[in-house]
Amino acid sequence: MDFYDIRVNREKDGTHSIFPEWVVNRRVTNLLVYGGAFQAIWDPKAEIWSTNEYDVQRLVDENLAQFDKDYIEKTGALTHVRYLKNWDSKSWSSFKRFLQSLPENRQDMDMKLIFQNSEIKKTDYATKRLPYALEEGSYDAWEEIVSTLYLPEERAKVEWAIGSIVSGDSVNIQKFLVFYGKPGSGKSTILNIIEQLFTGYTTIFDAKSLTGNNATFSTAPFKHNPLVAIQHDGDLSKIEDNTLLNTITAHEDIFVNEKYMKPIAITPRAFLFMGTNEPVKIRTAKAGIMRRLIDVSPSGALIPNHRYHVLKDQIYFELGGVAHRCLKVTKGWEKTTTSTTRRRKCNIRLTSSITLSKRITTSSSLRTVFRRNRHGSSTSSTVRSRKLGDILCIDFVQNWRTIS
């Protein structure tokens, strides 16, 4: 550890006192400090960062104990160790004051997914692993669930979104998914699976608060800058101000306000998923939400209750296969869009503009919005794909990847 040295002092009674001496410099790399407080410590044995401050006590005390053992074997001296775990040693309170003296060296933690079979580097600043390996495998339960609850074109949107998070591209994609349908139609089923896929990398959010006039503390769920944000039962039927929602979706800097805490600036990385029973209402065609929202609608078909619970339990053992499957869908789309669509643009669009009539309700001014197909003619009808292969050549309106 490069933020302390172990020192020995001879006391008046002849014992040798062993204690940590804290090192103050800008070259400290094993300890991260933010605002004069602990952020994380590198655990060399686990080869992962820990955000548990008491791991400092554990790791330092382990080194003190080993040093004490070696020192006794070498010198035969009578020793006294000032462990951090002992309050009377004053080592812990000394460490807390030490943090306030260190220059800030905070890092954004968990910037990418770490799978069970991933190699971790110290510079990844990872604090967790997913409980499954990213590898090709069975996804029979997922196949039955998603193919029953969603038509192929709707399923493609879901798998593309999941795959973009797995690949790491989601932090550059300015889109969010809204699952719109009747209660009990399968929205939360998919959202629950997404939560399982990205355990530890998710948060919950409130879309109504983000788009309301009083959004002071609505960004608090993003304080740890997660990769995924989910709301099972959201409401965008009355959008008063979509600025904050657009900013988060575009991954632009925001202030995170939390009660009784100092506001902090972050660049949000989250890909947003929301389920709703209410149609999304957009006031104007110029709203940024128009080109960022991807709506997903269940097919209306249901899975028998007893079969549903069997599939739900089986999903846990297929997470690696599901993630790998979705990654292939995303990569297949990337391959198509980087080659084929330079010559031939598809006229299938997965933004809110594809469903102005039913799923997304708008003001009268927005109903005059038309889309242009590849022949240049205008149409206000909904464009549907006829086969899953078509989905892999989607024009997401100005492209889904940020190229600015």
Question: 370, 382 in Cβ contact below 8 A?
Answer: no
21 token code pair:
């001496």
- State how far the Cα of 82 lies from the Cα of 173, in Å rounded to an integer: 51
Q: Pinpoint the residues of the chain covered by CATH 3.40.50.300.
A: 140-325
The CA angle 278-246-242, to the nearest 5 degrees, is 55
Higher pLDDT: 358 or 189? It is 189
3-state helix, strand, coil in the chain (%, to 5): 35, 20, 45
For 121-139, the pLDDT digits (tens) are 999 999 999 999 999 999 9
Picking from 7-16, 47-56, 206-215, 305-314, which range would have the lowest pLDDT averaged per residue? 206-215
Residue 157, CA atoms < 13 Å, CB-side half-sphere: 26
Instruction: Read off φ and ψ for residue 262, nearest 5 degrees.
Output: -70, 135
CATH placement of domain 140-325: 3.40.50.300
Among residues 270, 175, 274, 170, which one has the least CA distance to residue 221?
270
Helices (H) and strands (E) in the chain, counts: 11, 17
- State how far the Cα of 235 lies from the Cα of 239, in Å rounded to an integer: 9
- State how far the Cα of 364 lies from the Cα of 379, in Å rounded to an integer: 17
Average pLDDT value over all residues in the chain: 83
- Kindly state the percentage of the chain with pLDDT values over 70: 81
- State how far the Cα of 270 lies from the Cα of 109, in Å rounded to an integer: 13
Q: Could you give the angle at which helices 152-167 and 140-149 cross, rounded to 10 degrees?
A: 130
Residue 334 has what pLDDT? 60
Q: Which long-range contacts (CB under 8 A, 24 or more apart) does 71-75 make?
A: 71/8, 71/16, 71/18, 75/16
Torsion, CA 258, CA 263, CA 268, CA 271, rounded to 10: 10
For 15-47, the pLDDT digits (tens) are 999 999 999 887 889 999 988 899 999 999 999
| H/E element, 73 | helix 54-75
pTM confidence score: 0.79
Confidence at 363, pLDDT banded by 50, 70, 90: very low
Average pLDDT over residues 310-320: 96
Picking from 89-93, 304-308, 368-372, which range would have the lowest pLDDT averaged per residue? 368-372
Reply yes or no on whether the pLDDT at 386 is more than 50. Answer: no
Highest mean pLDDT among 48-57, 233-242, 286-295, 359-368: 48-57
Question: 175, 257 in Cβ contact below 8 A?
Answer: no
- State how far the Cα of 191 lies from the Cα of 205, in Å rounded to an integer: 13
Count CB atoms within 10 A of the CB of residue 365: 11
Average pLDDT over residues 98-115: 91
Structure-token match 């302390």, residue found: 4
Q: Could you give the angle at which helices 319-339 and 140-149 cross, rounded to 10 degrees?
A: 60
